Amino acid sequence: MEEYSDDEQQRSSQALHVQTPLIHSPKLSIKLDCNVYFKIENVQPSGSVKMRGIGNFCYKAVQSRGTDIHLVCGSGINTVLAVAYCARQLNVSAITVMPKDTATSICDAVRLEGTHLILYGEDWPAADEHARKLVKRNSVYVPSADHSDIWEGHASIIRELKEQLQGNPPAAIICPVGGGGLLNGVITGLQNIGWKNVPVIAVETHGSNAFQASVVAGKLVTLPKISTIASGLAASTVSSKSLELSLVHPVVPFAVSDAMAADAVRLFAEDTKMIVEAASGAVLSLCYTQLIRDILPSLGQECDVVVLVTGGSDISLSQLDEYRKKFYRPPVIVKSGGEVFLKMDDKLTHIQGVDMSEPLGISSDNLTKINQGHKQKVKESNRQQRLQQQQEQQKLVADTPMEDSFQVSTQEEEEDMLIVNASPSANTL
Ligand SMILES: Cc1ncc(COP(=O)(O)O)c(C=O)c1O
């Protein structure tokens, strides 16, 4: 057991989040030939990992300003749900703003915590802008990701992991990235406990890859448009801290298609009987498609891989059903660095780009064309290989002196040859 410092002990007893189980996945471990673990944040009180970061932020706000404050928030379903839960636990009021078309079940869950809910605007940026306007002298605006108290809260996941893995660093941690708050917490947590070489695979979707674009550009990039079903990852820019940390810690930015994230949600539900949103599906897809082995080819049976299953409430049984119908076993299309790859026959093939107008990331016509081209190439390379083998055999026969070739066959072999030649089938031929 890890020994906590007095400070840490005090902090964990005040935490609004709960310690989550680290569960082994026998199915994925066999598939990937290493030990795959799920850190299941979907069991947090508000349903997502946000509880850690937002919980710490709200706790600290009340600690420094007292219980007369109002918490104000309008930045994403899981952040709002976490704020609503924290407000009730800390006995403070909260005003939350969500877009007008937010699902009734989410609105009910927020209202159930006793929070004042305003439905405003067509989308989250509009709702958030409205929320910021409601901030008065005695209120505290709660951001989704970009604050050091949020990162500190998220870092608790790494302290727990260290205890659960008995101090043995994993081979990799797979972490989803939206605004980058969780990533910042994970990296600072790793640095704090001395796991400075544990790589973090930072996963986004193609339509929300602000972190990946920033790392490739070497400066913060704001995406002109966000387009993803993974609403938890829908941030047009990441915190500058995320980019800063990517320079001091091994981080691999990786983007997957919405379809891959959705299919992984389905597979995870089938395997574990738990339902999570597409933000979690994005990280899980690296295991279900075995891409993690392409990213880390040296993974062996002794290696542990931890997937941060961050949970999330933007999922329902009907959405899951829709995912199953629309995104069943989609093509594997990934972006790594500035390049796009399609996985065929367990190999990554470079392709032109992601077609964002297609739900699968590629049109079926284009996919058929690439597949046919690939099959043709495989056929041609097999033909070349056979030709080369034949030529080598012919050369070997030509280089072998006649007497030698008679000398190498033993009497026994010659008898066998006679028997074969004397067989009825040989006669009939
Ligand atoms: C379920 C879920 N996973 C991951 C994230 C990403 O966290 P961050 O915005 O801190 O990068 C979010 C953000 O809202 C989320 O809701």
For the stretch 374-422, pLDDT in tens is 888 888 888 999 999 999 888 888 877 655 544 444 444 444 433 333 3
- Contacts for 187 with CB less than 8 Å, ≥ 6 apart: 200, 245, 249, 251
Highest mean pLDDT among 322-331, 342-351, 358-367, 402-411: 322-331
Q: Which residues pair with 73 in a beta bridge?
A: 96
275, amino acid identity: I
Structure tokens at 147: 């604050």
Question: Which ligand 1 atom sits closest to the C-alpha of 277?
Answer: 1
- Amino acid identity, position 66: G
Query: What is the Cα–Cα distance from 156 to 8, expressed in whole angstroms?
Result: 9
* Smallest CA separation from ligand 1 atom 15, residue: 232
By most ligand atoms within 8 Å of CB, the mutation choice from 39, 49, 231, 315 for ligand 1 is 49
Q: Whose alpha carbon is nearest atom 3 of ligand 1?
A: 310
Provide the pLDDT confidence category of residue 176 given band limits of 50, 70 and 90.
very high
Sheet with 339-344, side-by-side order of all strands:
22-24, 35-40, 304-309, 172-176, 200-205, 251-256, 333-336, 339-344, 347-351
Q: Which atom of ligand 1 is nearest to the CA of 144?
A: 9
Alpha-carbon distance of 95 to 114, in angstroms, equals 10
- % of the chain exceeding 90 in pLDDT: 79
Q: How far apart are CA 204 and CA 219, in angstroms?
A: 17
Pick the atom of ligand 1 nearest to 78's CA.
Answer: 16
Residue labelled with tokens 């539900």: 269
Å from CA of 407 to ligand 1 middle: 74
Distance of alpha carbon 164 from alpha carbon 21, whole angstroms: 8
Has residue 423 got a pLDDT over 80? no
Examine the pLDDT at 186 and tell me if it is beyond 60.
Answer: yes
- Ligand 1-lining residues (CB < 6 angstroms): 48-50, 76, 78-79, 144-145, 176-183, 232-233, 235, 277, 279-280, 310-312
List the alpha helices (DSSP H) in 301-363: 317-326
Cα-based distances in Å from 325 to 142, 239, 319: 37, 36, 10
8 Å CB contact between 208 and 237: no
Backbone dihedral angles phi then psi of residue 307, each to the nearest 5 degrees:
-105, 125
Average pLDDT over residues 216-228: 96
Q: Which pair of tokens denotes residue 354?
A: 């992601």
Give just the sign of the alpha carbon dihedral 259, 260, 262, 267: positive
User: What DSSP string describes 181-233?
Assistant: HHHHHHHHHHHHTT-TT--EEEEEEGGG-HHHHHHHHTS----S----S-GGG
Phi, psi of 296 (to 5 degrees): -125, 80
Q: Is the pLDDT confidence value at 20 over 60?
A: yes
Overall pTM surpassing 0.85 (yes/no): yes
Closest C-alpha residue for ligand 1 atom 12: 232
pLDDT class of 327 with cuts at 50, 70, 90: very high
Average pLDDT over residues 274-278: 98
Question: What's the whole-number average pLDDT of the chain?
Answer: 90
Measured in Å, residue 144 CA sits from the centre of ligand 1 at 8
Q: How many CA atoms lie within 13 A of 59 on its CB side?
A: 18
φ/ψ (deg, to 5) at 360 = -90, -5
Q: What percent of the chain has pLDDT over 70?
A: 90
Name every residue whose Cβ is closer than 8 Å to that of residue 68 and which is 6 or more positions away in sequence.
Answer: 92, 138
pLDDT tens per residue across span 232-241: 999 999 999 9
pLDDT at 65: 95
Closest CA to ligand 1's atom 2: 232
| Mutate-to-test residue for ligand 1 from 78, 209, 283, highest number of ligand atoms within 8 A of CB | 78
pLDDT at 426 exceeding the cut of 70:
no
Closest C-alpha among 207, 205, 238 to residue 221: 238
Q: Say what the pLDDT of residue 11 is.
A: 55
Tokens of 326: 């629309």
Closest protein CA for atom 1 of ligand 1: 312
- Range 16-38 average pLDDT: 97
Predicted confidence at residue 374, as pLDDT, reads: 82
Q: Would you give the distance in Å from CA 29 to the centre of its chain?
A: 16
**Binning pLDDT at 50, 70 and 90, where does residue 338 land?**
confident
Give the β-pairing of 172-176 and 22-24. unpaired
Span from the CA of 268 to the centroid of ligand 1 (angstroms): 18
Judge whether residue 5 has pLDDT over 60.
no
- Rounded to an integer, the average pLDDT of 58-78 is 96
DSSP alpha helix (H) spans, 237-343: 240-246, 258-272, 278-288, 291-295, 317-326
Q: Which atom of ligand 1 has the smallest separation from the CA of 48?
A: 1
Name the residue of 38, 40, 50 to mutate for ligand 1: max ligand atoms within 8 A of Cβ.
50
For a mutational test of ligand 1's pocket, the pick from 149, 307, 310, i.e. the residue with the most ligand atoms closer than 8 A to its C-beta, is 310
Identify the CA nearest to 76 among candidates 128, 118, 32: 128
pLDDT tens, position by position, 112-150: 999 999 999 999 999 999 999 999 989 999 999 999 999
The pair of three-digit structure tokens given for residue 16, joined into one six-digit string: 């609004």
Q: State the pairing for strand pair 116-119/251-256.
A: unpaired
Which is the closest atom of ligand 1 to the Cα of 154?
A: 10
Distance 416 CA to ligand 1 centre (A): 71
